Amino acid sequence: MDLGTRPRSTAALLSRVGARIQARDTLLIEEWQDIVTWAGDHVVATPEGAATITDGYLDTGVPIAGDGAPLVSEFGLMELVAVLGRSPDGGRAYVGRVIECAWRLPTVYAAVMAGRLTPWRAERIADLTHALSAEAAGFVDRQLFHASGVGWAQLDRLIAEAILRFDPERAEAERATAADQRYVEVGDPDTHGNTHGIVHLSGVLDAADGRDLDEAIARRARLLGDLGNDAPLDVRRSVALGELARADLALDLEGSPGRKAIVNVHITDTTLTGVNPVGRWEDQQVPVSSEQIREWLGSASTVIVRPVIDLADHVPIDSYEIPDRHRARVQLRDHTCRFPHCTRPATRCDLDHARPYGEGGPTCPCNEVALCRRHHRAKTHSAWSYDIVMPGSYEWTSPSGFRFRVDHHGTHPPDE
């Protein structure tokens, strides 16, 4: 086995890998087309909507996709699954995902047919939309016009928004059920033979409560460090939580201190008219119901409303250090790490000077790009490089010369 003692062309090897993947996806797309054609020929559409006489036998129409997709012949499905060489349950689920895309997610299906979206990604999308109403599934599909650029976390948020918009009763029921699962448990110091006075803490909290607790712990842990506590950060965080508890026990108050809520408001005409029941918690980039927002604000003693940030502003400074106002603009513009296919939120990324500051690059949002630590290092210490096509749109070149366009549509070949 050659362990790298002989030089070889990495670019040629990767090209072969890419060609095989493309050939495999082409065959799978053709299989999808055949399945859709088969489904069109085996729709069971009788006045009863469930059974019909086929070749002298009572054939049942089975629902293997979501609301609005056709019922297909049960016997015909058995034959198709056998020819596909899949297990009965697995084959039925697979065909159902293809039908889900073809009938309920036409944008996703078209993206698969055009080669913009890999079939396995489309199948996962179909799994997530299967239980949605036809209206909610249509909403998700319309939002996925550029499906290749949607990460799984973003897709989960989109599904949640669809449920909030089109099935608010279900959304509220699910939220109430989830809220009933909240708990905090402090373990017994003697559990599992523990003799060191250490306990385990676990819990499930309301998202805003969890955020407040994390911020309070982080702030107190930093203060402990400033006061000379040289323990590791995780240790200081655990000490900080205990100090928070003791501070609360020392208060002679009937109620607890009020919560300060910082609200970043993005308003549309439907928000103003009350048609759209969906809000967005920008810190976590998740949709939340208006009822949830009312609960959060109802317990807030102070509400701060921030003004709109103009992402087109150019506000250069004569310094290498990037100020918070730049960071906010870049995070809102880029959303995630701008390396090909990376979905780490921009709020957890470094800001990179596209043109190095030492080479005359300005410290300005137009020259600042969100990169996670791993990909920041790749750009700085390897042959990976990128050019800014326009703010928010980047063209990367890999060490072997492969090129990628990364923008708000996701990652795709530059010639698109």
Q: Indicate the helix (H) or strand (E) that contains 143.
A: helix 134-143
Give the count of alpha carbons within 13 A of 228, CB side only: 0
Assign 35 to helix, strand or coil.
helix
Is the dihedral angle over the CA atoms 100, 101, 104, 105 positive or is it negative? positive
pLDDT at 314: 73
Task: Give the whole-angstrom CA distance, residue 345 versus residue 372.
Answer: 8
Residue range 43-61: mean pLDDT, rounded: 61
Taking only the tens place, the pLDDT of each residue in 365-404 is 888 999 998 889 888 888 889 999 988 899 999 888 888 9
Q: What is the pLDDT of residues 298-349, one digit of tens each?
A: 666 666 666 667 666 677 777 778 888 888 888 888 888 999 988 888 888 9
Contact indicator for 414, 405 with CB cutoff of 8 Å: yes
What is the per-residue pLDDT for 47?
Answer: 46
Distances (CA, A) of 49 to 32, 38, 61, 65, 92: 25, 19, 7, 15, 19
At residue 338, the pLDDT reads 93
What local confidence, expressed as pLDDT, does residue 99 receive? 96
Bridge partners of residue 407, in order along the sequence = 410
Phi–psi pair at 24, nearest 5 degrees: -65, -45
41's CB contacts (< 8 A; 6+ apart) are none
Please list the alpha-helical segments (H only) found in 279-323.
Answer: 290-298
Residues 70-90: pLDDT tens digits? 999 888 888 898 888 888 889
End-to-end CA distance of the chain: 40
Tell me, what DSSP letter sits at residue 323? P
Contact yes or no for 268/308 (Cβ under 8 A)? no
